[in-house]
């Protein structure tokens, strides 16, 4: 299933879930209101989810004059991948990490943290950018970004239940509890939508884009080591965005395991180094 088809399936599942809980809370009226909310959110997420994620992480767009080394590196990797030049962003965060976003290659963005640019050498940064462009080339970014935007959406129905629930207080309480119980459901959605196989494939294609698998292998080892000891507070506050990063940015809370969609770094490195030997 390609990225666009998987996105439509994800939207349909989320819409059905909204309608089911809306019906539980408010009967027929609840279903209609939930459908309208879900439809509006789906349309908004399709066109604006990438901007929302970049805004959430306070990413700043850069160009050839403000960040020439990074910008020119991304341009070279995009040329190697035969992709349009994406927008380039930098996130002020000491944890080395990066992600890509956008609904298609013509509307793609790549973002790197200041920690990545400080702690990795030029070849390793190139490997990371090549990996992110591989996600763009494989059209993974649409599903990744919309999933991040919608993953916490069901919790909004708690307020819906509170203010627009059934007149029967017991039923309203039941609806609120149902919302609370259903709120973690997007976590498995993330794992289904963004499979570990996609990360392996992005590693493989990224290694081909940059031409040096060892650059990406070394980068993954460094990022994984630093991510264990350097906080990414923004990601910790919104763990449903964790799957977007090249390495899981979470380590502070036990619930983070629910959002662990990344393969083991050791296995990713092993596969990359097998490419080197080959």
pLDDT tens across 91-123, in order? 999 999 999 998 889 999 999 999 999 999 999
pLDDT for res 122: 97
- Average pLDDT for residues 37-50, to the nearest whole number? 70
Of the candidates 92, 124, 132, 236, the residue annotated as catalytic is: 132
Residue 170 pLDDT > 50: yes
Using the predicted structure, report yes or no on whether residue 191 has a pLDDT greater than 90: no
Task: Tell me the residue ranges of DSSP E strands in 86-244.
Answer: 87-91, 98-101, 109-113
- Residues 67 and 258: their CA atoms lie apart, in Å, by 36
Residues 250 and 37: their CA atoms lie apart, in Å, by 30
**Helix (H/G/I), strand (E/B), else coil: 196:** helix
Choice among 14-18, 57-61, 219-223 with the minimum mean pLDDT: 14-18
Tell me if residue 2 falls in helix, strand or coil. coil
Q: 45-54, 127-136, 233-242: which has the minimum mean pLDDT? A: 45-54
How confident is the model over 144-164, as a mean pLDDT?
A: 58
Average pLDDT estimate for 35-64 = 82
Rounded distance between C-alpha atoms, residue 278 and residue 274, angstroms: 6
pLDDT on residue 187: 47
Task: Enumerate domains of the chain plus CATH numbers.
Answer: 56-143+186-277 (3.30.2010.10)
Q: Is pLDDT above 60 for 264?
A: yes
Catalytic residue check, 132? yes
pLDDT tens, 198-257?
899 999 999 999 999 999 999 999 999 999 999 999 999 888 788 889 999 987 554 444
Answer whether residue 156 shows pLDDT above 90: no
Q: What percent of the chain has pLDDT over 90?
A: 49
C-beta separation of 242 from 256 below 8 A: yes
The first and second tokens of residue 211, run together, are 């031409």
Which residues, in sequence order, are bridge partners of residue 100? 110
């Amino acid at each position: 299933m390609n990225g666009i088809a998987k996105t439509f399936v994800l939207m349909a599942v989320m819409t059905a879930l909204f309608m089911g809980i809306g019906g539980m809370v408010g009967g027929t009226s609840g279903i209609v209101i939930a459908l309208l909310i879900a439809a509006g959110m789906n349309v908004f997420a399709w066109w604006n989810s990438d901007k929302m994620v970049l805004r959430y992480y306070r990413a700043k767009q850069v160009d050839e004059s403000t960040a020439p080394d990074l910008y020119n590196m991304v341009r070279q990797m995009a040329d190697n991948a035969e992709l349009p030049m994406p927008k380039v962003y930098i996130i002020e965060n000491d944890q080395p990490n990066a992600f890509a976003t956008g609904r298609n290659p013509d509307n793609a963005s790549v973002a790197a943290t200041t920690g990545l640019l400080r702690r990795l050498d030029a070849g390793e940064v190139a490997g990371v950018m090549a990996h992110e462009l591989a996600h763009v080339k494989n059209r993974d970014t649409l599903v990744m970004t919309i999933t991040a935007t919608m993953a916490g959406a069901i919790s909004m129905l708690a307020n819906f239940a509170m203010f627009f629930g059934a007149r029967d207080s017991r039923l309203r309480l039941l609806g609120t509890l149902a919302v609370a119980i259903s709120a973690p459901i997007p976590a498995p959605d993330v794992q289904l939508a963004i499979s570990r196989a996609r990360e392996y494939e992005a590693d493989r294609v990224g290694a081909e884009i940059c031409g040096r698998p060892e650059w990406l292998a070394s980068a993954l080892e460094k990022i994984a080591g630093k991510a264990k000891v350097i906080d990414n507070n923004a990601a910790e506050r919104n763990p449903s965005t964790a799957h977007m990063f090249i390495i899981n940015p979470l380590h502070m809370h036990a619930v983070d395991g629910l959002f662990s969609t990344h393969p083991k770094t050791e296995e990713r490195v092993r596969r990359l180094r097998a490419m080197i030997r080959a």
